[in-house]
Amino acid sequence: MGLKFDAEGWPDGLNISLTPLRRVIRRSSVICNGWSRTQKHPLGYLPGESQNELLVSMLAEMDPGITAITAQPTKITTSTRSGILFSHVPDYAMVLDGVGVLVEAKPDDKAARPDTIERLRCAAKLANDCGYDYRLALGGEMLADRRLPGIETIWRQFRPDIPETLRLRPAASCAREGW
- Does the pLDDT at position 155 exceed 50? yes
| Calpha distance 146→102 (Å, rounded) | 25
Q: What is the pLDDT of residue 57?
A: 87
| Cβ-contact 135, 123 below 8 angstroms | no
Q: How many Cβ atoms are within 10 Å of 146's Cβ, its own excluded?
A: 6
Amino acid letter, 23:
R
Q: What is the pLDDT of residues 24-61, one digit of tens each?
A: 555 554 555 577 777 777 777 788 888 888 889 888 88
- The domains found in the chain, sorted by start residue, are 34-176 (3.40.1350.10)
pTM of the complete model:
0.77
